[in-house]
Amino acid sequence: MTIITAMPPPESPGKAAQIPSGAGLQAVPGPLRFLGRALRTLWSNGKARAGLIVLGLIIVVAVFAPLLAPHSPTATSFTPYSGPTGVNWFGTTGNGQDVFSQLVYGARVSLVVGLGAGAVATFVAVTLGLIAGYRPGIVDEVLGFVTNLALVVPALPLMIILAAYLQGRSVWTIVLVVAFTSWATGARVIRSQTSTLRTREFVTSAVFSGERLVRVVFREILPNMTSLVAASFFSAATAAVLAEASLEFLGLGNPDTVSWGTILYYAQQQNALLTGQWLMVFAPGLAIVLLMVSLTLINFGVDALSNPRLREK
């Protein structure tokens, strides 16, 4: 059978006829433009916008702590156990330190640990998830098993025990311990998404046209998972903030660092509630809540980006 096609080649779209934008992929834009576009899209989502504003404020407080805090956070020169006064707006600790200044400086540790541990955990999760999802077979099974194992061991008890064993007294110990226990959730999610994408036509065609593995992963698969990776990051960061605070509260961190968790640790040790230092308990806790809420709100926006059904109307 001979087939003759009488169809002329398609004209380029004219004035009245425009191609409606398809659901195809776009080339990976430069990272800065990409970030700008991501921020703008997030900004348009009401919840994410609120989250960005609060997070921004906390970051500003952390960066400008020396300017914003009226006193040094570690100076023990004030009257201990005093309530809010003109000098010490939020009162003092049992060691005579100014609570408000501690609160301001504490933002630094919480941000660094939260975002840092979140980033490390996400990095590990993405790496392992990509490998597991892309190479089915023994590698996938083994990694999957390890991930499941990591999920079965409850995070906080493991963190507590690791921190107790390590007896490390630096912030970085905490970051590592927290990251070590929170990569698994993200890895699982990324693995399943990679696995789904791997069988899609655009990946198959890239592989057939001879693209190297690394290129396929970074140019075809990863760009389609950005919102998933971002969501993983914000989830991990939220959990990390809570974990860090919990560890500090239990006295497993360095008691000399100034963080919101350590303020609460001393509050508990010094029975702050009984001595009337209710701000010492209330303020750092509220700060932790605000930081976590802001990250969660941003995550709402990221979720809406990846799943159009969740977008606000």
Partner 1 sequence: MRYVLRKVVLFVLTLWAAITLNFILPRLMPGSPVDAALGKLASAGVPITNAERNAIEIQLGVPHSGLLTQYLEYLRNIATLRFGTSYSFPSQTVAQTIGKALPWTLILIGATTIVAFIIGTLLGVYAGWHRGRAADSSITIGATFFGAFPPFWLGLLLLYLLAFRYGWFPIKGGFSPGASPNLSLSFLADALRHSVLPALTLVITTMSGWVFGMRNNMINTLGEDFVTFAEANGLRDRTVALRYAARNALLPNVTAFGLSLGAVVGGAVLVEGVFSYPGVGGLLFIAVTNHDFPLMQALLLVFTLSMLVAIFIVDLLYVRLDPRVRT
Partner 2 sequence: MALLECRGVNVAYEPARGQRIWAVRDVDLALEQGEFVGLVGESGSGKTTLGHALTRMLRPPARLESGVIAFDGVDIASLHGEQLRRRRRNGFALVLQSGMNALNPVRTIGHQFGDVLKAHAWRGEDVGAHAIRLRAAGLLAAVRLEPDVLGRYPHELSGGMRQRVSIALALALEPRMIVFDEPTTALDVIVQQAVIQTIKDLQRDRGFTAVLISHDLGVVLEATDRVMVMYAGRIVEDQPASALVRGLHHPYTEALLDCYADPRADVVELGGIPGYPPDLSLPQAGCSFAPRCPLAEDICRAQDPPLSPLGRGRAACHVRARAATIGEEVGSAR
* Interface positions with partner 2 (CB under 8 A): 1-8, 10-11, 13-14, 16-20, 44, 311-313
Determine if 109 is a binding residue for partner 1 (CB under 8 A). no
Q: Does 94 bind partner 1 (CB under 8 A)?
A: no
Per CB under 8 A, 234 contacts partner 1? no
Residues in 43-82 that interact with partner 1 by CB under 8 A: 47
155 binds, among partner 1, partner 2, none (CB under 5 to 8 A by kind): partner 1
Of residues 150 and 222, the one with the C-beta less far from partner 1: 150
Instruction: Count Cα neighbours of 291 within 13 Å in the Cβ-side half-sphere.
Output: 32
For residue 196, the minimal CB distance to partner 1 (Å) is: 15
Number of CB atoms found within 10 A of residue 55's CB: 21
Nearer to partner 2, 42 or 178 (CB): 42
Q: Which of 297, 298, 302, 305 lies at the binding interface for partner 1 (CB under 8 A)?
A: 297
Please give the backbone phi and psi of residue 293, each rounded to the nearest 5 degrees, phi first. Answer: -60, -40
DSSP β-bridge partners for residue 98: 92
- State the binding partner of 59 from partner 1, partner 2, none, CB within 5 to 8 A by kind: none
112 is a site residue for partner 1 (CB under 8 A): no
226-249 and 171-198 helices, crossing angle to 10°: 150
**Rounded CA gap, 226 and 131, in Å?**
16
Q: Which does 35 bind (CB under 5 to 8 A by kind): partner 2, partner 1, none?
A: none
* Shortest distance, position 82 Cβ to partner 1, whole Å: 19
**Total number of residues that touch partner 1 (CB under 8 A):** 50
Question: Which one of 11-19, 131-139, 207-215, 299-307 is the stretch in contact with partner 1 (CB under 8 A)?
Answer: 299-307
Give the whole-angstrom CA distance, residue 170 versus residue 269.
Answer: 21
Burial code (b: 16+ CB inside 10 Å, e: under 16) for 209-230 equals eeeeeeebbeebbbebbebbbb
CA distance 194 to 182: 19
Closest CA to 48 of 244, 295, 230: 295
Nearer to partner 1, 120 or 283 (CB): 283
Sign for the pseudo-dihedral over CA of 139, 142, 147, 150: negative
Nearer to partner 1, 175 or 263 (CB): 263
Q: How far is the CB of 32 from partner 2 (least distance, A)?
A: 23
**CB-CB contact of 258 with 15 (8 Å):** no
The site partner of 2 among partner 1, partner 2, none (C-beta below 5 to 8 Å per kind) is partner 2
26-43: burial string, b at 16+ Cβ within 10 Å, e else: eeeeeeeeeeeebeeebe
Angle between helices 171-198 and 155-166 (to 10 degrees): 140
Instruction: Identify the CA nearest to 130 among candidates 198, 72, 180.
Output: 198
Residues 143-202 interacting with partner 1 (rule: CB under 8 A): 145, 148-149, 151-158, 160-161, 164-167, 185
CB of 186 closer than 8 Å to CB of 138? no
Of positions 99, 288, 302, 305, contacts partner 1 by CB under 8 A:
288
**Smallest distance, partner 2 to C-beta of residue 46, A:** 11
Of residues 268, 270, 275, 306, which one binds partner 1 by CB under 8 A? 268
